[in-house]
A = this chain, B = another copy of it.
Amino acid sequence: MDKNRCALTPPMGWNSYDYYDTTVNEEQVRANARYMSEHLRGYGWEYIVVDIQWYAHRPGTMREEHQYIPFSTLEMDGYARLLPDPERFPSSAGGKGFGPLAEYIHGLGLKFGIHIMRGIPRIAAHCHCPVLGAETTADRIADPSSICKWNPDMYGVRDCPAGQAYYDSLFALYAEWGVDYVKCDDICNTNMYPHRPYSARHEVEMLQNAIQKSGRPMVLSLSPGPALIEEAWHYETYANMWRITDDFWDNWGLLKNMFERCELWQSHVAPGCYPDCDMLPLGKLGKGFGAERDTRLTPEEQKTMMTLWCLFGSPLMIGAELTLLDKDTLALLTNRDVLALLNPALRPRQLMRDGEQAIWIAADGKAAYAALFNLSDGERTVGIPLEKLPLETPGRAKELWSGEERSLSGKLETKLPEHGCALYRLG
Contacts and interface: CB of A to CB of B under 8 A. Distances in A.
Interface of A: 70-71, 122-123, 125-126, 128, 139, 142-145, 147-150, 152, 192, 194-195, 229-230, 232-233, 263-264, 266-268, 350
A149 B139 contact: no
A126 B72 CA distance: 8
Contacts of A263: 233
Contacts of A268: 267
What are the 10 A-B residue pairs with the smallest beta carbon separation, nearest first? A144-B152, A71-B139, A267-B267, A70-B144, A233-B263, A71-B125, A126-B126, A229-B229, A71-B126, A194-B195
B230 A264 contact: yes
How many of these chains are in the complex? 4
Given A123-B126, A126-B126, A192 B145 contact: yes
A139 B70 CA distance: 7
Contacts of A266: 233
Contact of A152 (B145, B192, B230): B145
Contacts of A126: 71, 122-123, 126
Nearest to A158: B70
A207 B82 CA distance: 38
A392 to B, nearest CB: 12
Contact of A233 (B123, B128, B264): B264
Contacts of A122: 122, 126, 144
B192 A71 contact: no
A194 B192 contact: no
10 contacts: A71-B126, A71-B128, A122-B126, A145-B152, A147-B147, A229-B229, A230-B264, A232-B264, A232-B267, A233-B266
